[in-house]
Amino acid sequence: MKIYESAENYLETILMLKKKHENVRSIDIVNELEYTKPSVSVAMKNLRENGYIEMDEKGFIELTDKGRRIAETMYERHKFLSDWLMDLGVDEKTATEDACRIEHVISPESFEAIKRHVEDTSKQE
């Protein structure tokens, strides 16, 4: 099943919120992304039905192994690409926004090639 960019964003957001707080609820996602409650509710339902998250009776959200893999991939790409763009002289706001777009469309092959190139270049310095 193809996962859409919006689902990847939700999963990455859940992961980032989990790094800051022990528990994550839908309202935390609403506040973080500034989306409406109904939009987040529908997204959480879809993520749950597709096996990316689980929700307990108190509404706390946990990533499944499948959801965590996607979230960690998106987070790694986002962090790496943001840092790389800033190292190239792009301001933080633009670098973060661009990384957010790039992380969803870049192939694993291209991302790994860029990562290897940056790592090899930094070893030479």
pLDDT tens readout for residues 22-34: 899 999 999 999 9
Whether 114 and 84 have beta carbons less than 8 Å apart is answered as yes
CA atoms of 13 and 7, how far apart (whole Å): 10
CA atoms of 82 and 75, how far apart (whole Å): 10
pLDDT for res 123: 81
pLDDT for res 98: 96
Q: Pick out the chain residues at pLDDT < 70.
A: 1-2
Two structure tokens written together for 52 = 């990316």
For every residue of 88-113, DSSP letters joined together read TT--HHHHHHHHHHHHHHS-HHHHHH
Q: Which domains does the chain have, with CATH numbers?
A: 5-69 (1.10.10.10), 73-124 (1.10.60.10)
pLDDT for res 124: 78
For residue 50, which of 3, 103, 105, 115 has the smallest C-alpha distance?
3
SS3 state at 4 = coil
Residues in contact with 86: Cβ distance below 8 Å, sequence separation at least 6, in sequence order: 92, 95
89 φ, ψ (degrees, to nearest 5): 105, 5
